Amino acid sequence: MMRRVLAAITLALAAAAAVAAQTNSAQTNAAEARKEMNLGSRAYRDGRFAEAEQRFRRALELDPEEKNIGKNTRLFIARTIQQQYKPGDQTPENLAAGERAIAAFHDILARDPRHEEAKKTILFLYGQMKNEEKAHEFLLSRANDFSLPNDARADAFMILASKQWQCSYDITEQKENKTTEEKESKVVIRYKMPADQGDFIRARQCLTEGLQLAEQAAALAPKNTAALSYKVNLLREGAKLAEMEGDAAQKAEYERQYLEMVETNRGLTQETTGARPLDGHPATAGGAVADESGAKKRTIVSGGVLNGKAVSKPQPAYPPIAKAAGASGVVTVQILVDEEGNVISASAVSGHPLLQQAAVAAARQAKFSPTQLSGQPVQVSGVITYNFVPE
């Protein structure tokens, strides 16, 4: 009997010792993991990215559940690998660093498919590595991933649609494929068939695919003005291509749909932001503005390019989704300035779709000196441009 009691006591003491050892070990690991995180952060700040990566990985090994080191350790690891990649360096070693960074961000997405930074950085890295095929595959996989929320899928469809728009735009806007002429104080652009028929066929294919992608984006996010903007821009491309082909009926149909979508998008913008068109006054077809009764019309003069005439011209924010897709270049915004120098209407007329919304938002904040004609204040119609340059 005594031996059984002693044996039980011995087992209990052994179990208690084991628990104590485990507790001490866990506490030691937690302290060591926090130490590695601190050392890794210091190495990162000092630009020693390879060492920082090793420190963060060691911290994760010591605390795989991330109970003591925070939930962003894998993101820190991915960022340190990204810092080891040098854009523009096409050596195998550097490209391997880029692939390692992409794999690390993919690991984050596997755990959290909605992780925005991981998604955008993967696209950004593919762009820096000039790997359009992989970027396309990645976007297509997200667009068709039914486990993602509709807005995330719509974003993927929008980026894919913008690339197809760019494909067509790069062809239709070539100098040799259009002519310009002054007509009644306006510049009229005419589009003509490219000398290389293959260019036209490629642009037409891009348009067809782009419209399908834009439709899918709009279907997933019907209240998203950006989603509708892609279709607006693609319809404009359709009108240009129809003109190149000499198909007046098709051009008219594209223009009808284009104007219809512009109005739909404008109405949605007003619904979303609470903004009123032209300071609450209904616009006439000619661009003049009627008063409440619709009788009196204000004088509007053409001011051309208004960049240099702005008293204040805030710079637009560079949309993260545009950066991720590698979107850049000039965006032209048509604006209407009232008698006091305030922008009362703004709409993008050219430029990358992913950048247009930011340019329009900035244009609405611009301020101009009041303009007078024969001593009377007048409104001024013109364009303002913004150049988006990747950092």
Q: What is the pLDDT along the chain (391 residues), one digit of tens a residue?
A: 666 655 665 665 555 444 444 545 556 778 888 888 899 999 999 999 999 999 999 988 988 888 877 788 999 999 999 999 998 898 999 999 999 999 999 999 998 988 888 998 999 899 888 888 999 999 999 999 998 989 889 989 988 998 898 899 899 989 899 888 776 656 678 899 999 999 999 999 999 999 999 999 989 988 877 777 788 889 989 999 999 999 999 999 999 998 888 778 767 666 654 444 433 333 333 334 433 334 445 667 766 778 888 889 999 988 877 777 778 888 888 888 888 889 988 888 778 878 888 899 999 999 998 887 777 888 888 888 899 887 6
Dist. CA 153–CA 134, nearest whole Å: 17
Please, what's the b/e burial string for 127-163 (b: 16 or more CB within 10 A of its CB; e: otherwise)? bbbebeebbeebbeebbeeeebeeebbbbbbbbbbbb
Spacing of C-alpha 9 from chain mean position: 67
Dist. CA 158–CA 139, nearest whole Å: 10
Q: Which two tokens stand for residue 138?
A: 């990645």
Q: Which two tokens stand for residue 379?
A: 């409104």
Number of neighbouring beta carbons within 10 Å of residue 57: 17
Question: Which helix or strand (DSSP H or E) is residue 217 part of?
Answer: helix 197-220
Q: Which two tokens stand for residue 268?
A: 């949605």
Q: Which two tokens stand for residue 4?
A: 């059984």
* Distant-in-sequence, close-in-space partners of 360: CB < 8 Å, separation ≥ 6: 333, 346, 347, 348
Burial class (CB in 10 A: 0-12, 13-18, 19+), 47: exposed
Dist. CA 119–CA 217, nearest whole Å: 17
Burial class (CB in 10 A: 0-12, 13-18, 19+), 364: middle
CA distances from 286 to 127, 300, 328 (A): 43, 10, 33
Q: Which two tokens stand for residue 24?
A: 């001490």
pTM listed for this prediction:
0.68
Answer for the pair 102, 81: CB distance below 8 angstroms, yes or no. no
Dist. CA 88–CA 207, nearest whole Å: 31
Dist. CA 346–CA 386, nearest whole Å: 13
Dist. CA 123–CA 323, nearest whole Å: 9
The phi and psi torsions of 24 (rounded to 5 degrees) equal -65, -40
Three-state secondary-structure class, residue 347: strand
Please tell me the predicted confidence (pLDDT) of residue 94: 93
Three-state secondary-structure class, residue 67: coil
